[in-house]
């Protein structure tokens, strides 16, 4: 099982709405994440907009690719795109670059 951590930047003026949207993640989106190998998926948001994501998955690239092929993910990404800082205009799921793991307490 891979443990993946990544960082994204949420626009400061969208923080409250971003949090509200995540209180109501669509059931079909939750199912799609589970079905494509996303386990213990968690998001943490700092008041300056730094978003830290954590997920456990057998294969992160396969999990990303699995979601990329789903209509529900395309809809979700379209709705969430404007919440994120990204000079290249990419969807959040295309910005997820895993951080290097350096320590795990087993």
- DSSP letter string over the chain? -EEEEEEEEB-GGGHHHHHHHHTT--HHHHHHHHHTT-EEEEEEE-TTSEEEEEEEES-HHHHHHHHHT-HHHHHHHHHHGGGB--TT---GGGT--PPPP-----
Catalytic residue numbers?
Answer: 22
């Amino acid at each position: 099982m891979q443990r993946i951590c990544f960082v994204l930047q949420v626009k400061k003026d969208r923080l409250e709405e971003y949090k509200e949207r995540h209180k109501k993640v669509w059931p079909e989106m939750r199912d799609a994440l589970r079905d494509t190998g996303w386990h213990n998926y968690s998001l943490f948001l700092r008041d300056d907009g730094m978003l830290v994501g954590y997920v456990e998955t057998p294969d992160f690239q396969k999990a990303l690719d699995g979601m990329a092929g789903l209509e529900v993910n395309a809809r979700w990404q379209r709705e969430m795109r404007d919440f994120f800082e990204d000079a290249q205009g990419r969807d959040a799921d295309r910005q997820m670059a895993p951080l290097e793991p350096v320590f795990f307490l087993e």
